[in-house]
Chains A and B, each alone.
Chain A
Amino acid sequence: MSNKVIYAIYNDDDILMDAVKKTRAAHHHIEEVFTPFPVHGLDKAMGIAPTRLAICAFIYGLCGLSFGTWMMNFVMIQDWPQDIGGKPSFSYIDNMPAFVPIMFEETVFFAAHLMVITFYMRSKLWPFKQAENPDVRTTDDHFLMEVAVNNNEEELVSFFQKTGAVEVKVIEKH
């Protein structure tokens, strides 16, 4: 089975947005869009589901809050309840205000770092990752839409030429 895709290349984000809308309306499946910068509203036009990173961050924050609370309770109240400068270490709530800065920072630390790591994992980014750039110009000033070909090569090529593409290429993908 051939694995052909079309690379439609644009040099303006407004034209790209129109092309994406037309492609969706014509029911061609968009595999991917490469842009040099975030194009506002592109995800909506492509019909991509909203991100759930914020929900993850909230849960990670709760984990951080729990960890901070558990740690301070174990260290300062359960394990070795010393009298340090008259601070009451009889129960957690007695000395709670002193632990709030740690609880807060743990919450932020967990929420921020675990969310970033989640982002890297979900978007498959790591230091020695092979770059997946179909065309070097897409990091500079060109926009590229990748659309799968299903035995309708000529039809697709002429379709994308009409959408204002500066270049339409058919590529055999491996």
Chain B
Amino acid sequence: MYTFSSKLKTFALILMILGVLGIGYGFLTAPKDIQEVEKILAADAHEGHHEAHAVAVENSIQEAAEHKEHLEHVLHQLQNKPWAALYVACIFFMLVSMGVLAFYAIQQVAQAGWSPVLFRVMQGITAYLPVGSVIFFVFLVLCGLHFNHLFIWLDPEVVAHDKIIANKSGYLNFPFWIVRAAIFLIGWNLYRYFSRKNCLAQDESKDDSFYKKNFNISAMFLVFFIVTESIMSWDWIMSIDPHWSSTLFGWYVFASFFVSGITTICMVTLYLKSKGYLENVNTSHIHDLAKFMFGISVFWTYLWFSQFMLIWYANIPEEVTYFVTRIQLYNLPFFGAVVMNFVFPILILINTDFKRITWVLVMAGTVILFGHYIDFFNMIMPSTVGDQWFIGISEISSVFFFFGLFIFVVFTALTKAPLMPKRNPYIEESKHFHY
């Protein structure tokens, strides 16, 4: 049995407290009206702004109106900033545990002989899913109640003046959207709940009936998952840009959180192994996880590039603005994500010996996880805060809070059951797995 070390618990609690304080600070310092925005912009522009202002005074009233419109636009972006920061961290950590759940289900259905020794670790990580889902769902409801302006199609004022969004309102309307979200989250959580329950019951059982049950529900879950995952990516991420669409977006989002999930499994396994809790996990298991990290990183890049290159090549104005915004305003995060999620892992993890060395994997895993946070940042920020983006207190604190919560929930769940399944039909093979 694993015992939650008090050091780690304190660390998680400190992260959560720091996070809450920072998130609160972010909301308190967000501008409330146009006057404040004007002050912020004036402070940003320094002296160059005064000259421009003097010229603007001489010009017509139309420009004054444009100036006011610009201020309102910036106000919305700055007000969105703490919300968007919270949203990115919230969806990222929830989807990381979803990635682990998908990986776990695949291992069950594929009857993998190497991974049963890691099932309890995976179940521990997916314990974050219920907690993350509730927070995420509350967040979506808050969006629907107009606490923020992340999803512009939720604003009836915007929809009334926008034919393109109005045409999509059969799909993009609050009741349908929130019901879909509820169905997806409940479906995923039900699978997690019953899969863990069956796995624990299998330990005490006299035959393999619970194992077979898990096999069946895992297969059904994977079908449900691939459909809901696709729709989820349209609902929760793509609809932030309601004027844009991409057909491979669902896969792209999937690859992003799937590789993050596998990396998380690897990191938690390495941590538990280093504390001496997983005596049956050897470097071959770690090597397999590292191969998955490597392979799915390349898969993510393939989808990233396919999405980018097809749109870049055809250069259709309706589609290409998505990337124009990102390349012009988010140049470093946009291309930095490719370096962190592709160039770095491919050079580090291509070597067989490196895939067995703990510190190499921790380093590669840290870069991959940061890289995929940046990836979600790139997907969500440009349409919510635009050029007002900054990785500042709001963003870092949101990550701190959810990271602390994640550690707390995951490692609490790990203490609830033995780390080694007893009567899994593949457990012996898994214990002696070597590559």
A residues adjacent to B (C-beta < 8 A): 54, 58, 86, 97-98, 100
B315 and A97 contacting across the interface, CB-CB below 8 Å: no
A98 and B313 contacting across the interface, CB-CB below 8 Å: yes
Which of B305, B315, B350, B352 touches A100 (beta carbons < 8 Å)? B305
B177-203 interface (Cβ within 8 A of A) = none
B308 and A97 contacting across the interface, CB-CB below 8 Å: yes
Write out the residue numbers on chain B whose beta carbons fall within 8 Å of the beta carbon of A58.
350
10 residue pairs, one from A and one from B, having the closest CB atoms: A97-B309, A97-B312, A98-B313, A100-B305, A100-B309, A97-B313, A97-B308, A58-B350, A86-B315, A97-B305
B52-84 interface (Cβ within 8 A of A) = none
B residues adjacent to A (C-beta < 8 A): 305, 308-309, 312-313, 315, 350, 352
Write out the residue numbers on chain B whose beta carbons fall within 8 Å of the beta carbon of A97.
305, 308-309, 312-313
* Closest residue of A by beta carbon distance from B312: A97
Q: Which of A54, A86, A97, A100 has its CB near the most chain B CB atoms (within 10 A)? A: A97
Q: How far is the CB of B409 from chain A (nearest CB, A)?
A: 41
User: Could you count the A-B residue pairs with CB atoms below 8 Å apart for me: how many are there?
Assistant: 12
Q: How many angstroms between the C-alpha atoms of A58 and B305 in the bound complex?
A: 22
* Closest residue of B by beta carbon distance from A55: B351
* Closest residue of B by beta carbon distance from A61: B350
Q: How many angstroms between the C-alpha atoms of A58 and B352 in the bound complex?
A: 13
Write out the residue numbers on chain A whose beta carbons fall within 8 Å of the beta carbon of B312.
97
* Closest residue of B by beta carbon distance from A58: B350
Q: How many angstroms between the C-alpha atoms of A86 and B350 in the bound complex?
A: 38
Write out the residue numbers on chain B whose beta carbons fall within 8 Å of the beta carbon of A86.
315
Interface contacts beyond A54-B352, A97-B305, A100-B309: sample of 4 additional A-B pairs, CB < 8 Å, sorted by A: A86-B315, A97-B309, A97-B313, A98-B309
Q: How many angstroms between the C-alpha atoms of A58 and B351 in the bound complex?
A: 10
Write out the residue numbers on chain B whose beta carbons fall within 8 Å of the beta carbon of A100.
305, 309
Q: How far is the CB of B320 from chain A (nearest CB, A)?
A: 12
Write out the residue numbers on chain A whose beta carbons fall within 8 Å of the beta carbon of B308.
97
Q: How far is the CB of B399 from chain A (nearest CB, A)?
A: 31
* Closest residue of A by beta carbon distance from B310: A97
* Closest residue of B by beta carbon distance from A101: B309
Write out the residue numbers on chain A whose beta carbons fall within 8 Å of the beta carbon of B313.
97-98
Q: How many angstroms between the C-alpha atoms of A58 and B346 in the bound complex?
A: 12
Q: How many angstroms between the C-alpha atoms of A13 and B352 in the bound complex?
A: 27
Q: How many angstroms between the C-alpha atoms of A86 and B312 in the bound complex?
A: 12
* Closest residue of A by beta carbon distance from B352: A54
Q: How many angstroms between the C-alpha atoms of A95 and B309 in the bound complex?
A: 11
Q: How many angstroms between the C-alpha atoms of A98 and B314 in the bound complex?
A: 11
Q: How many angstroms between the C-alpha atoms of A98 and B312 in the bound complex?
A: 9
* Closest residue of A by beta carbon distance from B353: A50
* Closest residue of A by beta carbon distance from B309: A97
Q: Could you list 12 A-B pairs, sorted by A, with CB under 8 Å?
A: A54-B352, A58-B350, A86-B315, A97-B305, A97-B308, A97-B309, A97-B312, A97-B313, A98-B309, A98-B313, A100-B305, A100-B309
Q: How many angstroms between the C-alpha atoms of A146 and B143 in the bound complex?
A: 77
Q: How many angstroms between the C-alpha atoms of A86 and B316 in the bound complex?
A: 12
* Closest residue of B by beta carbon distance from A86: B315
* Closest residue of A by beta carbon distance from B305: A100
Write out the residue numbers on chain B whose beta carbons fall within 8 Å of the beta carbon of A98.
309, 313
Q: How far is the CB of A57 from chain B (nearest CB, A)?
A: 10
Q: How many angstroms between the C-alpha atoms of A56 and B308 in the bound complex?
A: 32
Q: How many angstroms between the C-alpha atoms of A8 and B229 in the bound complex?
A: 60
Write out the residue numbers on chain A whose beta carbons fall within 8 Å of the beta carbon of B305.
97, 100
Write out the residue numbers on chain B whose beta carbons fall within 8 Å of the beta carbon of A54.
352
Q: How far is the CB of B307 from chain A (nearest CB, A)?
A: 11
* Closest residue of A by beta carbon distance from B311: A97
Q: How far is the CB of B352 from chain A (nearest CB, A)?
A: 8
Q: How far is the CB of A50 from chain B (nearest CB, A)?
A: 9
Q: How far is the CB of A40 from chain B (nearest CB, A)?
A: 11
Q: How far is the CB of B121 from chain A (nearest CB, A)?
A: 29
Q: How many angstroms between the C-alpha atoms of A97 and B315 in the bound complex?
A: 12
Q: How many angstroms between the C-alpha atoms of A100 and B304 in the bound complex?
A: 13
Q: How many angstroms between the C-alpha atoms of A100 and B350 in the bound complex?
A: 20
Q: How many angstroms between the C-alpha atoms of A98 and B315 in the bound complex?
A: 12
Q: How far is the CB of B116 from chain A (nearest CB, A)?
A: 22
Q: How many angstroms between the C-alpha atoms of A98 and B305 in the bound complex?
A: 11
Q: How far is the CB of B115 from chain A (nearest CB, A)?
A: 21
Q: How far is the CB of B323 from chain A (nearest CB, A)?
A: 10
Q: How far is the CB of A58 from chain B (nearest CB, A)?
A: 7
* Closest residue of A by beta carbon distance from B315: A86
Q: How many angstroms between the C-alpha atoms of A100 and B302 in the bound complex?
A: 11
Q: How many angstroms between the C-alpha atoms of A58 and B349 in the bound complex?
A: 13
